[in-house]
Amino acid sequence: MIAAFFERLNDTQGLNFSIFYDAFDRSRFLTGLWTTTYICVVSILASLAIGLIGVWVAGSGSRLGRLVVRIYVQFFRNTPPLVQLSFFYFAVGSMLPTVSDGFGGQSPLVSGTGWAIIAFSLFAGAFNVEIFRAGIEAVPETMVEAAESLGYTRFQLWRQIVLPLAFRICLPALNNNLVNLVKTTTLAYAIGVPELLYAASQIWSEMFNVREMMNVLLVVYVLLVAVLVWVMHRWEKAMRIPGYMP
Amino acid sequence: MKAGATDLPVLKPFRAAPIAPSGLAAPALLSAGLVAGTAIVFAASLAVAQASGPAARDGAVTILWRWAPLIFQGFLFNLLISFLSMALGTAVGVLFGIGQVSPSAALRKPAWAATQFFRNAPWLVLLFYAMFLLPFEIRLGPVTIAFPAWIKAIIGLALPVAANVSEIVRGGIRSIPSGQWESAEALAFTRRQTMWMIILPQAFKRMIPPWMNLYAILTMATTLISVVGIQDGLTVTRAALVAESRPELMLPMYLLLLLMFFAYCYPIARLTMALERRFNVKG
């Protein structure tokens, strides 16, 4: 039904939405969508882990640890993500050994998708460190002191008191950063990762339907972000601290 | 403040500067450490390249020295693009931002929708959009206005900038207490007068830090134009690497470009934070 409608649209109006009736284009587009989702989800999880580790190291007594985290955060926040990605993919990637792919050929140790995930995780992770730090600083010292006087160890204190509070406080800022991360995944196009933008560009260069694909692409990305924002807002509401108004 | 919420100081205020140096420890000491750290990494990669390169040909330092001016020129082109897109984006964004707080729904809703749409679309997709869908020239009767690629790139980058400026302006105007509006009304100011003479001058200084932050983000985003085939710093760096075809040079070459951006964006970030702190105190 849908396929027939879009086929007719192409014949009568010249609007060629090939992804809706052509099985090959559709599968390419969906694969791209899947790759984008995959990169997003893995990078989000990894960047959250990096943020937590970073803020833990920065908050520990070690001076060297603090310095390393600070250099990492400032460097990744003040340089273009596209150049970071090129740096990882071309410069670091070329220095790593290749592995045999089992068919007699050699393939790089980390694929383009792998480098994209690594670069985006480090990029978003640098922002997360800062966001978590601000959230943790918003937890009053009295609360920490009270917990300490009750005999909490540092790990227990973090897990049961500081992090649950800090996490709720920094959730809005975290949302912004995660939305940014989803938008940043388009950069993977530059190193030839078959994500949504790449798939769309392949389709429009073969079917000559730049205008249609471009609009589809824009709508899909806005929807993707809208879904993320909606889910996070629901979560924010469910997790909100009674009586706390930022 | 919503109903049902107490105004007891349950928790301290949350302050996450969008891009600003963190207060992880004493700033002066660590800034020096930061510069030293990046310099060490760069020097180390250069030394490794120098040592591992073939002895018969030019050393890594010589090659880097040869290409550095050209890469810097490309970087300056990035900055030029960033100035122009920021100017265009700000001009359009301010209009949209004021539209977002307009009393007429016919103006407010489209402004809101456009802002949200362009804010949530990826920069690269918007850039593609502008590059492919804008005509290469516009005919207005006898006059033909040419649209070369770099102008289209400026427009493409200005779209998300305008949307973000619109949000900054809206936020700034909203942050002015409603008492200001009411007293202006009591003094028989028209809405336009109130906006231009009372609200915007006050909101202006609160908009400066996020605006500068956006500028830093835009500067970093200008490298995207290399993806759509415009010669910028990243393109030149790649071309240099292809011309020399020395794999051991890749690390220092890309680091050089990264350092150029870092040297430009980091002071902006520090200044943003300093301004933010200053305006916070005055409130």
Q: Is residue A126 a part of any domain in this protein?
A: yes
Q: What is the total count of domains within chain A?
A: 1
Instruction: Give contacts of A122 with chain B, Cβ < 8 Å.
Output: none
Tokens of A78: 């003040």
Range of the domain at A35: 25-90+110-239
B5 touching A (Cβ < 8 Å): yes
Q: Is the pLDDT score of A244 beyond 80?
A: no
Q: Which of residues 112-151 of B touch A (CB under 8 A)?
A: 117, 120-126, 128-129, 132-133
Q: Give SS3 for A29.
A: helix
CATH number at residue A214: 1.10.3720.10
Whole-prediction pTM:
0.82
Q: Are A164 and A22 in contact (CB under 8 A)?
A: no
Instruction: Give contacts of A79 with chain B, Cβ < 8 Å.
Output: 220, 258, 261-262, 265
Give the Cα separation of A137 and A194 in Å (integer): 41
pLDDT at B23: 45
B266 touching A (Cβ < 8 Å): yes
DSSP labels, B201-240:
HHHHHHHHHHHHHHHHHHHHHGGGGGTTT---HHHHHHHH
Closest CA to B225 of B124, B137, B129, B118: B124
B38 touching A (Cβ < 8 Å): yes
Closest CA in chain B for residue A66: B24
Calculate ∠ Cα B103-B105-B106, nearest 5°: 120
B201 touching A (Cβ < 8 Å): no
Q: Give bridge partners of residue B146 from the DSSP assignment.
A: B137
Asked if ipTM goes beyond 0.85, one says no
Q: Which CATH class is domain B63-282?
A: mainly alpha
pLDDT at B20: 41
Q: Per the CB < 8 Å rule, is B14 touching A214?
A: no
Backbone Cα Rg of chain A: 22
Closest CA to A186 of B161, B212, B127, B41: B127
Helix or strand (DSSP H, E) at B144: strand B143-146
Instruction: Give contacts of B251 with chain A, Cβ < 8 Å.
Output: 87, 91-92, 95
Question: Cα separations (Å) of B42 from B12, B47, B180, B250?
Answer: 40, 9, 53, 12
> Each residue's pLDDT tens digit in chain B (283 positions)?
344 455 555 566 666 554 444 444 445 555 666 677 777 777 777 777 777 766 666 777 888 888 889 999 999 999 999 999 999 999 999 999 999 988 888 999 999 999 988 988 899 999 998 888 888 777 777 888 888 889 999 999 999 999 999 999 998 888 888 888 899 999 999 988 998 898 888 888 888 888 998 999 999 999 999 988 888 899 999 898 888 887 778 888 888 899 899 889 988 988 888 888 887 644 4
Measure A133 CA to nearest chain B CA, in Å: 8
- Closest by Cβ to A190, choosing from B8, B123, B227: B227
Please report, as a single letter, which amino acid is at residue B52: S
Give the Cα separation of B279 and B211 in Å (integer): 14
Mean pLDDT of A138-148: 87
Residue A96 confidence class, pLDDT cut points 50, 70, 90? confident
Instruction: Give contacts of A135 with chain B, Cβ < 8 Å.
Output: 14, 16
Positive/negative CA dihedral, B273, B277, B282, B283: positive
- Closest by Cβ to B24, choosing from A69, A92, A94: A69
Q: Which of residues 61-80 of A touch B (CB under 8 A)?
A: 63, 66-67, 69-71, 73-75, 77-80
Q: Give SS3 for A77.
A: helix
Q: Per the CB < 8 Å rule, is A197 touching B125?
A: yes
pLDDT at B33: 67
